[in-house]
Homo-oligomer: A and B are copies of this chain.
Amino acid sequence: MDPAFSFDQLQLSKRNHGLLLEALRYPITPPGMHYTLVHYDVPALDAASWQLSVGGLVEEPFELSYDELVELPSVEATVTLECAGNGRSGITPDMHSVQWHDEAVATAVWKGTHLGALLERARVKSSAVEIVFSAPDRGFEDETEQSFARSLTVQQALGGDAILAYAMNGAPIPPQHGYPVRLIVPGWYGMASVKWLMSIVAVASPFRGHHQAIAYRLRQKPEEPGEPITRILPRALMVPPGIPTFFGRHRTIDLGGCLLEGRAWSGMGPIASVEVSADGGATWDEARVERELDSPWAWCRWTYLWRPETVGEYELRCRARDEAGNSQPDVATPNLGGYCNNAAQRVAVTVRARPGE
């Protein structure tokens, strides 16, 4: 039976929109089609008055204005970001959160300055174990007031490819994506890429904030500490072929060759292969994979020429495997938060006779 969703689930799911899957055809997601997840409200910030403070267990704490940040050596990174809750509706449709199906993903070109270089300037003390990144996005989780904050270990922060971004696709970052400055942690699920970044603090013990210690952990029971969510698991998605019904979005194509296309990505290594099944997972064929974007952190394109032989009902699936040996399951292992469900996409398709035949 179909799950039923509450008004509050619907409301959150409408605020936090995904990628229209037909937009998988674009290597860089066009403006406004990039998925967005806003925990509370988009804060009203202004680059002119924005200041980043870098402090805590560092030898040289400092503050930085937006103009000063933009003057630092810059780097560009083409990054596929995905929400850790992508696929949630397939494993925890009753959870009090955004009910993503499989559309919480997108790719953008971020321009900014290296986080590691900024931290070297501050000289993190050896007593520090983590770096905490905080935003002014405030709200309540149950009865407790929170603002969004996340941490990285000192090693992850200093040694990784994270950047403090101030431009997205050649323009200022739109408000809902983190204006004026967003931390971008390539290869990680989106929660690590803290929007509206205001402070960076080196701390002596592992950060216990809500979005680090409670949310974004893989747990089977509420009392478990759980495993922290970090890097993006592999996933392939296709542009649903043919044309949809308005309600239900069931697909119909005409009999004949149909070029399936999509994208595949992993935060754990380059994509090694994409496979397609047209018989609900009974048999799989290899798709052609193209590295269209010159970035280790961006999705690649795949295509597959599907030639259904008869009219009828089909179930298409696609799945990716990365070079680190991770592959997509047919069915994901559930977890309480509904995270990291990278089960292979399923698209039901009716193949009809060509009109006039």
Contact = CB atoms under 8 A, between A and B. Distances in A.
Contacts of A111: none
Q: Which 4 A-B pairs have the closest CB atoms?
A: A32-B32, A17-B17, A4-B4, A96-B247
Nearest to A7: B2
Given A33-B176, A141-B246, 14 more contacts: A2-B8, A4-B5, A5-B7, A7-B93, A11-B101, A23-B42, A32-B32, A32-B36, A32-B174, A40-B244, A97-B247, A138-B243, A139-B245, A139-B246
Contacts of A245: 139-141
Interface string A133-156: 000001111000100000000000
Contacts of A243: 40-41, 138-140, 145
B246 A40 contact: yes
Number of copies of this chain in the oligomer?
Answer: 2
Contacts of A103: 14-15
Contacts of A303: none
Given A7-B5, A40-B243, A174 B252 contact: no
A181 to B, nearest CB: 16
A177 interface: yes
A222 interface: no
A38 B248 CA distance: 14
A213 B38 CA distance: 39
A249 B240 CA distance: 33
A194 to B, nearest CB: 16
A177 B33 CA distance: 10
Interface string A7-31: 1111111110110101101100011
A259 B116 CA distance: 41
